[in-house]
Amino acid sequence: MDDPDVVRACNVDWTGKVVGGAHFLLRPSSSAQLELILMLANRLRTPIHIQGGNTSLVGGATPVNSDFILTTSKLKRIRHFDSQLGRVTCEAGVTLGELSEYLRGTGYHFGVDLASRESATVGGMISTNAGGIHFIRHGGFRDQVVSLDLVTPAFGLISASSKYLKDNTGIDVGRIAIGAEGTIGVVTSATLRLIPNSASSYTVLFGVDTFSDALEKLRFARQFATLSVAEFFTYDGVVLVEEAIGARVPFRSRYYLLFQFDGGHLMEQELSDAFRNIEGNVAVASDAVSAKKLWALREHHTLAISTLGKVDKYDVSFELGQIEEFWSSANKRLESLTSSAKAYIFGHLGDGNVHLNVVSRLSSAVVDEAIIGLTLEMGGSISAEHGIGTLKSGYLSRAKNDAQLQAMRAIKATFDPNGILNPGVIF
Ligand SMILES: Cc1cc2nc3c(=O)[nH]c(=O)nc-3n(C[C@H](O)[C@H](O)[C@H](O)COP(=O)(O)OP(=O)(O)OC[C@H]3O[C@@H](n4cnc5c(N)ncnc54)[C@H](O)[C@@H]3O)c2cc1C
């Protein structure tokens, strides 16, 4: 397909910051077609860029060095649902929203959830090992994949779809693709673990004025095995969300913690007893409509901040005790560069993973050096969940040691010896 409007849309990343130069869009509708495309591309040494829902926040899905985009938009089949083992097998182009809709009424749901759910695809989420809001309870995508099918330039289709939940027959080759950002093969389908639905859900918003109080609330919430979300944002950020979507935050505090607990029928009583004596700003939602309102305050941060102009995004993780130091040092570094930069922090506090969004007129390279440089100096991870993509690849050599880099390059060369997949991503 070479419809210029469609191809143009696929060349621009979600943030609008990264623009690719591809002229052609390849849309295989079966694994067999996809295998043929990859075989030809490998033979002709033609670079190809893989795209799922194009929600990457690190320019991962943007064809910066390829004339061809291979999209999974036609790989949409949900092939099998196993209600006894709690598993579903679906093709790579199924979005998280479509999967959730399919599972409605089955008694199961999927363990990973992200704000980009309506566009993010199974293949994209596997390839970025997406984290999301339930990581604290169910882990990331790596923890949900039972098996997957991967088409690689060197070996063609590697079908690692074992029929069994437990299968220890040597190296599980397919799993190497989880988090590999499409650099070693194309994920065509996967069998995913499902979570039985809870009888009830309880959402609580706390407001506190110091970061140590925020950590104290997190410690308190963590004592409940039913804790399945521990998110965090600040007053500055929520004001933008209020403006962007017309929402109202129930009270004014410096920091906000959003907790969700999912459990049995007795859980609500246990939680309301426990929370009764807590002083300060707190709002409880025990029905779906009020929970949705609290959730909107957290979920619309990325969108609300993106309305301010150029945003440089950082997705970092630290020990919990380092986050306050990171936040204040990041602000100091930005102040030393310009008086007009504004930083927003929010994210998955329960996982030690925060998103720092910087709005400024500084060049991205200057902001990157300030924030990624600080993260590396503090020993944090420069990508907790979004991946390296094309935007962070220049920092990989400072984030990994020589042995790690050598091993990563050797894996890439084994699966994709001619370097045709996603040139510019990670490496
Ligand atoms: C509003 C918003 C909120 C977000 N929240 C979160 C969050 O909470 N947690 C989180 O982890 N991420 C989050 N993200 C980032 C993003 O949604 C995830 O990285 C997601 O997993 C990307 O899925 P996708 O289908 O859009 O992949 P794309 O963006 O299309 O691609 C991502 C990478 O995977 C590769 N790829 C895509 N499909 C395949 C395939 N079938 N086989 C091999 N490689 C493939 C691409 O080449 C690229 O390198 C958010 C993004 C937005 C816009």
Report d(CA 104, CA 86) in Å as an integer.
13
Residues 82 and 182 in one domain: yes
Out of 71, 116, 175, give the residue to mutate to test ligand 1, the one with the largest number of ligand atoms within 8 Å of its CB: 116
Residues 191 and 260 in one domain: no
Residues 88 and 66 in one domain: no
Quick check: is 225 in a domain?
yes
User: β-pairing, 281-285 with 255-263?
Assistant: unpaired
Residues 390 and 316 in one domain: yes
Residues 218 and 291 in one domain: yes
Residues 85 and 67 in one domain: no
To which residue do tokens 């510019």 refer?
424
Q: Given 33, 54, 71, which residue is the final one in a domain? A: 71
Does the beta carbon of 128 sit less than 6 angstroms from any atom of ligand 1? yes
Quick check: is 410 in a domain?
no
Residues 220 and 325 in one domain: no
Smallest CA separation from ligand 1 atom 20, residue: 125
Does the beta carbon of 121 sit less than 6 angstroms from any atom of ligand 1? yes
Residues 103 and 190 in one domain: yes
The CATH number of residue 241's host domain is 3.30.70.2190
The total domain count for the chain is 4
Q: Given 55, 71, 87, which residue is the final one in a domain? A: 71
Report d(CA 406, CA 326) in Å as an integer.
30
Does the beta carbon of 71 sit less than 6 angstroms from any atom of ligand 1? no
Atom in ligand 1 nearest the alpha carbon of residue 93: 41
Given a contact cutoff of 8 angstroms between Cβ atoms, the answer to whether 155 and 174 are in contact is no
Quick check: is 228 in a domain?
yes
Atom in ligand 1 nearest the alpha carbon of residue 177: 43
Does the beta carbon of 72 sit less than 6 angstroms from any atom of ligand 1? yes
pTM, whole model, 2 decimals?
A: 0.94
Residues 93 and 172 in one domain: yes
Quick check: is 416 in a domain?
no
The CATH number of residue 376's host domain is 3.30.70.2740
Does the beta carbon of 302 sit less than 6 angstroms from any atom of ligand 1? yes
pLDDT for the residue 389:
97
Residues 225 and 335 in one domain: no
Report d(CA 167, CA 158) in Å as an integer.
16
Residues 279 and 334 in one domain: no
Smallest CA separation from ligand 1 atom 46, residue: 61
Quick check: is 34 in a domain?
yes
Q: Distance, CA 2 to ligand 1 centroid (Å)?
A: 24
Q: Distance, CA 79 to ligand 1 centroid (Å)?
A: 22
Quick check: is 106 in a domain?
yes
pLDDT digits (tens, 9 = 90+) for 124-158: 999 999 999 999 999 999 999 999 999 999 999 99
Question: N- to C-terminal Cα distance for the chain?
Answer: 28
pLDDT for the residue 1:
64
Q: Distance, CA 57 to ligand 1 centroid (Å)?
A: 8
Does the beta carbon of 347 sit less than 6 angstroms from any atom of ligand 1? no
To which residue do tokens 């169910």 refer?
138
Atom in ligand 1 nearest the alpha carbon of residue 126: 21
Does the beta carbon of 14 sit less than 6 angstroms from any atom of ligand 1? yes
The CATH number of residue 129's host domain is 3.30.465.10
Out of 50, 94, 142, give the residue to mutate to test ligand 1, the one with the largest number of ligand atoms within 8 Å of its CB: 50
Smallest CA separation from ligand 1 atom 38, residue: 124
Q: What is the mean pLDDT of each run of 10 residues along the chain (427 residues)?
A: 82 93 96 96 98 97 96 97 95 98 97 95 98 95 95 92 78 92 98 94 94 95 94 97 94 97 86 80 89 95 93 96 97 96 96 97 96 98 97 96 97 98 97
Query: Within 10 Å of residue 147's Cβ, how many Cβ atoms?
Result: 21
Quick check: is 426 in a domain?
no
CA atoms within 13 A on the CB side of 199: 6
Given a contact cutoff of 8 angstroms between Cβ atoms, the answer to whether 137 and 221 are in contact is no
Atom in ligand 1 nearest the alpha carbon of residue 133: 8
Structural domain for 35, as ranges: 4-71
